[in-house]
Amino acid sequence: MAAPAAATESQASGGPRPPACLLVLGMAGSGKTTFVQRLTGYLHSQGCPPYVINLDPAVHEVPFPANIDIRDTVKYKEVMKQYGLGPNGGIVTSLNLFATRFDQVMKFIEKAQNTSKYVLIDTPGQIEVFTWSASGTIITEALASSFPTIVIYVMDTSRSTNPVTFMSNMLYACSILYKTKLPFIVVMNKTDIIDHSFAVEWMQDFEAFQDALNQETTYVSNLTRSMSLVLDEFYSSLRVVGVSAVLGTGLDELFVQVASATEEYEREYRPEYERLKKSLASAQSQQQKEQLERLQKDMGSVALDTGTATGSSSPVLDPADLILTRGTLDEEDEEADSDTDDIDHRVTEESREEPAFQNFMQESMAQYWKKNNK
Ligand SMILES: Nc1nc2c(ncn2[C@@H]2O[C@H](COP(=O)(O)OP(=O)(O)O)[C@@H](O)[C@H]2O)c(=O)[nH]1
Ligand SMILES: [Mg+2]
């Protein structure tokens, strides 16, 4: 995926800071969409309009002005019909289709950095569609490789008053943290129904949580007791904010946490992503080099008198471009391994040395030099 380098470059040159991407995740009904709507209103009132993206293909109505709406690109009902899928399959497939175009979304976000400090991203109702799908990973990694990206895990506080349910919710949050490895904020939503202080106490005071568990007699509570020991470390560094998406309370505190999470991204995650990008690029160029060598071997003595082909500074070709007009990469691989090995080149060269073929090769080569030398 083409990751715009502009984010880091503009920062280094004192240009606009790259926008922070707030990826809003949470169980169905936890209040993600209402939260994004409230956040959008809040940021507008602060004179800081966000760039808003809706990734839920199945939502009937988006209650906020979305700059990008997956529903404009992918028609969820059509996808269901066309692929013979049920509702969940339809959502997953729609998201997959959208992920293939996410490089374009990245360009839009890059352009928005002059006007927006924040990018808000609402995700499908069913959390696993995003967190445990290939497209969710592609989208998350694309964002995180270019912009400070923060996961906001929205939970329904009013439905977490049972210690066992609370624990399950926290385990889920923990699994997402380990999956995405990104700065993380837990938003305890719906504090208009019940204050979140009971949950904070459970997280800070192990004894208090054990007391609550003692009221439970099911075997699950035994498991929960052991698990709570495991979660202690997760809690210790967790950012938690109580919010009511309906009333709009807790948002000032939320942005204090967002600022600290953004710093954490710059300090701990950015260097890691940069390192990853570099090692990926060098692995890619090594692969390209090997493919080129194989290609040159295959072509044998086909004349390519562009004059630069054998120079030590000759750029690495990208055979994938050649393959565009000559079949798929896999076919090319097979060809390299089998077919051409037992062809008598002296015989076939004659038929290959058609002027048209040579012209084609030379034109293709000229294009690569241009591309790689610019
Ligand atoms: N009382 C209360 N209800 C809320 C709050 N946030 C969302 N809801 C309600 O929770 C339900 C689900 O909200 P929605 O934003 O669609 O959840 P999503 O599936 O996570 O996007 C809706 O009926 C909302 O009105 C809140 O802060 N307080
Ligand atoms: Mg929603």
Query: Can you give the residue range of the structural domain that contains 145?
Result: 20-274
Mean pLDDT of the chain: 81
pLDDT for 46 equals 95
Q: CB of 33 closer than 6 A to ligand 1?
A: yes
In a domain, 24, yes or no: yes
In a domain, 183, yes or no: yes
In a domain, 350, yes or no: no
pLDDT for 374 equals 52
In a domain, 130, yes or no: yes
Nearest 5°: the CA angle 146, 147, 151 is 125
From atom 26 of ligand 1, which residue's Cα is the shortest distance away?
Answer: 190
Atom of ligand 1 nearest to the CA of 56: 21
Looking at the structure of the chain, the number of domains it has is: 1
* Among the bound ligands, the one closest to the CA of 29: 1
CA of 17 to the centre of ligand 2 (A): 29
Domain containing residue 121: CATH number: 3.40.50.300
Per-residue pLDDT of 280-326, as tens digits, reads 888 888 888 888 888 777 766 554 544 444 444 444 333 333 322 22
The low-confidence residues of the chain, meaning pLDDT below 50, are 1-12, 303, 305-353
In a domain, 82, yes or no: yes
In a domain, 212, yes or no: yes
pLDDT for 322 equals 31
pLDDT for 330 equals 40
CA of 52 to the centre of ligand 2 (A): 14
- Residue 291 is encoded by which pair of tokens? 């493919």
In a domain, 182, yes or no: yes
In a domain, 351, yes or no: no
CA of 19 to the centre of ligand 2 (A): 23
* Among the bound ligands, the one closest to the CA of 57: 2
Q: CB of 37 closer than 6 A to ligand 1?
A: no
CA of 245 to the centre of ligand 1 (A): 7
pLDDT for 335 equals 41
